[in-house]
Structure formats: C-alpha cells, structure tokens
Structure 1
Amino acid sequence: MKVSKTHMVTMRSPLGRVRGLGSAKSGTAHWWAQRLTAIALVPLAIWFVFAVLAHLGAPREAVAHWMGRPINAVLLLALSIALFHHLHLGLQVVIEDYIHTEAARLAVLLAMRAVVALLFLTALIAILRMAL
C-alpha cells in the first residue's frame, strides 16, 4: 500500500494506476499504420521509379496518355495516399517526441496536418488533371 500526499491509501498496483494511459492507448494502431504504409510504399515506389525512367524525355502528351490509363492513375493515387499518410504518421511521432509544451505541440501538429493535407490535395488534383 502506498500513502499519497493527501494521506489516502490506494490499493491499486502500479500497473492498475497506469492502465489506459500513455502510448499504449493508441500506439499500436499508429505503429501498424506506419508499417503497413511503408510496406505499401515499397512496390509502389519501385513501380513509380521505373515508370519515370521509362518516360524520361518523353513529350507531355505521351506522359498524359500513359497516365490516362486507369491502372496507372489508380497506382499513382495509391502511391500518393500511402506516401502522404506515411509522412503524416512519421512527422506526428517526431513532433510528439521532441516538442514538450502542450500548446506548442498542438500548434505544430495542426500546422503539419494542414501542410500535409494541402500537399496531398495538390498531388491529387495534378494526377486527376493529367489522367482525365
């Protein structure tokens, strides 16, 4: 038993007092999301690098025709979704680890989310304009 500052006796174990708190609350889902997006990015990035190398120096019309195929547009969209989601998850971890003031952490997290969302929307519009 432990006596706290207010002289209250607690019958809970240390594990019982911390259960439901800290990173164990949602850290597993975050960790899995990072790993799954990383795994998805490997084949998508390899496909993208080969596609870019194959169209290096090609005129815009040839690239637009290539992007106009549904499979290529879908793969580019999948690459963008996985890439920006992975970016968001990774930056969130860095911000939460290194910014200790709650107000500053919240402000930086919100700014980061806004920038990542803006970049994703820009990529989405560019892909759709080229594909359609």
Structure 2
Amino acid sequence: MSKFLMYLHLKEGSLHWWLQRLSSVFLFVLFLWLDFSVFLLLIVVLLYHIRAGIETLIEDYLHSDSVKIFFFVVLRLLIIYVVKITAIFFLI
C-alpha cells in the first residue's frame, strides 16, 4: 500500500470529521446562493452530509457488528430511495 493510502487509512476518523465540516460549509454557501440550477448539487451534498452524520452515530452508539451492518444497509437504501424520488421530481 502506498504511503499516502496508509496515511489516509490511519487518519480516517479525522478525514471523516473534516469532510463533514466542509460539507456543512458548502451546504451553507449553496443555500445562500439558492438557484434552481444548483438545487441538485445542494441535494447531493445534503445527502452526503446526512449519510456521513448518521454513519457516525451508528459507528459510535451501536456495538453489535450485525446491527451496524443492518443499519448501514438500511441507510444506503434510504439514500438511494431519496435520490430516486428527487430524480423523478426533476424529470416531471
């Protein structure tokens, strides 16, 4: 494994923390500049931010691996469903 990938693996928690903070700032900027053309980008970043936050809650507060996997799968399915509904909304 390259040194860069090893560094990212060791710093995974702090990278996750920074990505959550950057996505929240990005959401704030997109919300202030709310235009129909950037609305889809706002939804994509919002869904990433929500997924990252809920994954952190699952990792921190659930201790059984099987329960964690179940909720990770449910979370991914919910995100896919929201993306599908959003795409249908934009196509109509």
What amino acid is the match of 1:120? V
What amino acid is the match of 1:95? I
Match of 1:44 among 5, 30, 34: 30
Counterpart position of 2:76:
113
Q: Calculate the TM-score normalised by the size of structure 2.
A: 0.78
What amino acid is the match of 2:28? V
Using the alignment, how far apart are the partners of 1:77 and 1:115 within structure 2? Answer: 18
Counterpart position of 1:7:
none
May I ask how many residue pairs the two structures share in their alignment? 85
Counterpart position of 1:34:
20
The structure with more helix, counted as a fraction of residues: 2
Residue 124 of structure 1: CA displacement? 2.8
Counterpart position of 1:63:
none
What percentage of residue pairs aligned between the two structures are identical?
27
Map 1:82-101 → 2, pairs under 5 A: 82-101=45-64
Residue 118 of structure 1: CA displacement? 1.2
Residue 82 of structure 1: CA displacement? 0.5
Higher relative contact order (CA 8 A, sep 6+): 1
Using the alignment, how far apart are the partners of 2:27 and 2:58 within structure 1? Answer: 22
Gaps of 5+ in 1: 1-19, 52-71
**RMSD (CA atoms):** 2.1
Residue 104 of structure 1: CA displacement? 0.5
Whether the 8 Å contact between 1:80 and 1:124 is mirrored in structure 2 is no
Gaps of 5+ in 2: 1-5
Whether the 8 Å contact between 1:92 and 1:109 is mirrored in structure 2 is yes
